[in-house]
């Protein structure tokens, strides 16, 4: 069964062309509108077909019957820590060492495989679309949009807060404004590069000593390895991140966790705030490195 979007036309939009109303006011993409026009009941106003050239009327109800989609990802049963779910969004807490998407080396042991199994067990049918793509070894919140409209509306509209444990003492707030690009000798490692993509990282110390610091970080941009690259550039690589100069003595992955997200729901317009606690390996590393946290 198709998912639906329902819009109630306010008086200020009376007589506005449907195409303009749906694109500019409600955020539907041109591609989605094209697909909706191919469905006999794609766009309805008070139960009647609404063409994109027609005007919308104040007080009327517009129903969008979203196109059905099929997932090509192989379902695989597994544990899923669901933090939030409705007809449009699924938010989960991803454990470390789990890729988000299938790749050559990981075809069936990814978050996408488990979500696909979970979806099918609930009788739903949507394509796996992760709004944020955490690295395999990074833990924390991943938001999955259940349709194209939702993923488009979430773009650049989700505030994510990360927690990281880094080498060295960081005792003041700061911001890194440095472009990032691939290192010439690698297909994976990034570094600060004048000709790279703009990247902005804000960080705040939560607790620290001379050996290590626990930081809260937010991003203005979402570049691959941005936090890992920027903190290494500052001389404070993440604990466990041997790709960027960190030691794996206490933890065998980068000590990075997406612990909080906030966004305005694309359909209900309600503010959604979600949190996920630090996983066990990071908590143990923090206690070992920064004993004062034991007293908190």
pLDDT value of residue 204: 97
- Strands 212-219 and 200-208, by their bridges, are antiparallel
Question: How far is Cα 194 from Cα 188, in angstroms, rounded to an integer?
Answer: 18
Q: What is the mean pLDDT of residues 215-242?
A: 96
Q: If we measure between CA atoms, which residue out of 19, 17, 64, 18 comes closest to residue 44?
A: 64
Catalytic residue from among 135, 137, 147, 281: 135
Question: How far is Cα 51 from Cα 218, in angstroms, rounded to an integer?
Answer: 42
Q: pLDDT tens digits, residue range 87-146?
A: 999 999 999 999 998 887 888 899 999 999 999 999 988 889 999 889 999 999 999 999
Q: If we measure between CA atoms, which residue out of 287, 295, 138 comes closest to residue 214?
A: 287
Q: Do residues 133 and 112 make contact, with C-beta atoms less than 8 angstroms apart? A: no
Tokens coding 53? 């050239």
Q: Do residues 113 and 73 make contact, with C-beta atoms less than 8 angstroms apart? A: yes
pLDDT value of residue 294: 44
Using DSSP's 3-state secondary structure scheme, residue 43 falls into strand
Would residue 135 show up in a list of annotated catalytic residues for this protein? Answer: yes
Q: If we measure between CA atoms, which residue out of 215, 206, 219, 238 comes closest to residue 138?
A: 238
Q: Would the pLDDT of 293 be above 60?
A: no
Q: If we measure between CA atoms, which residue out of 182, 261, 253, 183 comes closest to residue 219?
A: 261
Q: Which pTM does this prediction carry?
A: 0.78
Query: Range with the lowest mean pLDDT among 29-33, 41-45, 167-171?
Result: 29-33
Question: How far is Cα 84 from Cα 64, in angstroms, rounded to an integer?
Answer: 23
**Quick count: other Cβ atoms within 10 Å of Cβ 101?**
14
Q: pLDDT tens digits, residue range 44-82?
A: 998 899 999 999 999 999 998 887 665 678 999 999 999
Q: Would the pLDDT of 4 be above 90?
A: no
- Strands 212-219 and 129-130, by their bridges, are unpaired
């Amino acid at each position: 069964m198709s998912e639906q979007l329902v819009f109630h036309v306010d008086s200020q939009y009376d007589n506005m062309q449907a195409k303009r109303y749906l694109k500019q006011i409600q955020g539907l993409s041109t591609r989605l509108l094209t697909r909706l026009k191919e469905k006999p009941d794609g766009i309805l106003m008070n139960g009647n077909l609404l063409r994109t050239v027609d005007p919308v009327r104040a007080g009327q109800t517009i129903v969008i019957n979203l196109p059905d989609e099929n997932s090509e990802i192989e379902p695989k049963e597994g544990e899923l820590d669901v933090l939030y779910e409705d007809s449009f969004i699924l938010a989960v807490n991803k454990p470390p060492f789990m890729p988000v998407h299938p790749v050559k080396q990981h075809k069936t042991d990814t978050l996408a495989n488990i979500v696909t199994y979970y979806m099918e067990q609930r009788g739903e049918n949507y394509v796996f679309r992760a709004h944020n793509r955490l690295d395999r070894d990074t833990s924390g919140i991943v938001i999955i949009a259940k349709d194209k409209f939702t993923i488009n509306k979430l773009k650049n509209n989700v505030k994510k807060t990360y927690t990281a444990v880094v080498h060295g003492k960081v005792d003041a707030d700061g911001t890194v404004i440095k472009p990032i690009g691939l290192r010439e000798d690698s297909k994976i490692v990034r570094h600060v590069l004048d000709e790279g993509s703009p990247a902005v990282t804000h960080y705040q110390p939560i607790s620290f000593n001379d050996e290590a610091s626990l930081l809260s970080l937010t991003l203005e941009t979402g570049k691959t390895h941005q936090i890992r690259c920027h903190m290494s550039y500052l001389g404070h690589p993440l604990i466990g991140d041997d790709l960027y100069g960190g030691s794996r003595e206490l933890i065998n992955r980068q000590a990075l966790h997406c612990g909080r997200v906030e966004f305005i729901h694309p359909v209900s317009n309600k503010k959604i705030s979600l949190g996920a606690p630090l996983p066990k390996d990071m908590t143990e590393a923090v206690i070992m490195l920064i004993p004062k946290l034991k007293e908190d």
